[in-house]
Amino acid sequence: MANIKHYLGIVNKEKIEQLMLQYFSACPLCSVSKGYDVQGWTVKCRSCGAQWMSTNFFKCKDLKELTLLRPSQDGKGSSLAMKKYPIEFWQNPEAIETESETLSIDMGLLEGEKKKLEYVCARQFIGSPSMWDGQRAIEQRKGRLILTNDNLIFTEQQGPWSSNYMQALRIPLEEISGVSSGGVLIKHLRVLVGTASTTEHHFTLFERQDFDMIVAEIQKHLKETREEKKRIAKEALAKGTVPAMIFCRFCGTRNKSDQSFCANCGAPLT
């Protein structure tokens, strides 16, 4: 009877949770011991929301590998999502951290650039007009939206099941003039670029649907980054040093060292 139930796809939630707890009394990502909720053939950490899958769940015996389907709510593990690793990997925090850093470098981070926020998402594109009705279809290109201490980056996934990503967008943070949520039926993140907000980029988020929280996170990061650049600019002026790039002490925009006035707000740079 047990074999028949298993064949029919009837999930024994208790056995799957016990199997996960046997190997991970605490979540591999958040290290919190709150247990797991079983949803079909996947388990979800009750603390951070990370979601896991393993082919071994089907037999409820000898967990040998584990795939991270969704990262934690704070974005931890985003670069490891949809990749299968042996149990020994997930049981080693140092290995997880090292692999995350390696994959982050592959996503286009420059030397000295540090990842601050990351979201699994799709970037919206308006396609070419249809030859039948002239309507423009909206394309969704899956990837990762990354905010560093210097740039907003979108790395596009090379194929639906590929672990390879190619950088498709890089915008200096000081050029971002606004971030908001938009859409009624399909919610998306709206990023405005330029002093006149003439350019827009839209991202549909798959990882989390709390758009107000995401907008608040990004706005906070933008504010803190600009304040830090203004602080650096004021210190450089006080010391009389002239860096290769000058950050405006009023708005935080980067400018070439031979400029006298900020290209963004027009304030004097000296």
- Over the chain, what HEC string results? CHHHHHHCCCCCHHHHHHHHHHHCCCCCCCCCCCCEEEECCEEEECCCCCEEECHHHHCCCCCCEEEEEECCCCCCCHHHCCCEEEHHHHCCHHHHHHHHHHHHHHCCCCCCCCEEEEEEEEEEEEEEECCCCCCEEEEEEEEEEEEECCEEEEEEECCCCCCCEEEEEEEEHHHEEEEEEECCCCCEEEEEECCCCCEEEEEEECCCCCHHHHHHHHHHHHHHHHHHHHHHHHHHHHHCCCCCEEECCCCCCEEECCCCECCCCCCECC
Question: Which of residues 120 and 68 earns the better pLDDT score?
Answer: 68
Residue 207 domain-assigned (yes or no): yes
Question: Which residue range forms the structural domain that includes residue 21?
Answer: 2-102
Q: Which of 102, 122, 151 is the last residue of a domain?
A: 102
Residue 54 domain-assigned (yes or no): yes
Strand partners, 188: 182
pLDDT tens-digit readout, 206-249:
655 678 888 999 999 999 998 888 887 778 777 766 556 677 76
Residue 270 domain-assigned (yes or no): no
pLDDT tens-digit readout, 97-151:
888 766 655 566 666 778 888 887 889 876 666 666 666 667 788 888 889 888 8
Residue 267 domain-assigned (yes or no): no
pLDDT of residue 208: 54
Q: Which of 41-45, 86-90, 134-138, 192-196 has the lowest mean pLDDT?
A: 134-138
Is there a contact between 125 and 139 (Cβ–Cβ < 8 Å)? yes
Same domain, yes or no: 176 and 122: yes
Same domain, yes or no: 52 and 152: no
Is there a contact between 176 and 251 (Cβ–Cβ < 8 Å)? no
Same domain, yes or no: 130 and 217: yes
Same domain, yes or no: 71 and 155: no
Q: Name the CA radius of gyration of the chain, rounded.
A: 23
Residue 263 domain-assigned (yes or no): no
pLDDT tens-digit readout, 186-203:
788 999 998 776 788 999
Residue 269 domain-assigned (yes or no): no
Same domain, yes or no: 116 and 208: yes
Same domain, yes or no: 94 and 124: no
pTM of the model: 0.57
Residue 68 domain-assigned (yes or no): yes
**Total domain count, the chain:** 2
Same domain, yes or no: 38 and 92: yes
Same domain, yes or no: 127 and 193: yes
Q: Which of 81, 102, 123 is the last residue of a domain?
A: 102
pLDDT beyond 80 at 184: no
Same domain, yes or no: 125 and 63: no
What CATH number corresponds to the domain at position 234?
2.30.29.30
Residue 212 domain-assigned (yes or no): yes
Same domain, yes or no: 126 and 69: no
Q: How confident is the model at residue 7 (pLDDT cuts 50, 70, 90)?
A: very low
Same domain, yes or no: 90 and 137: no
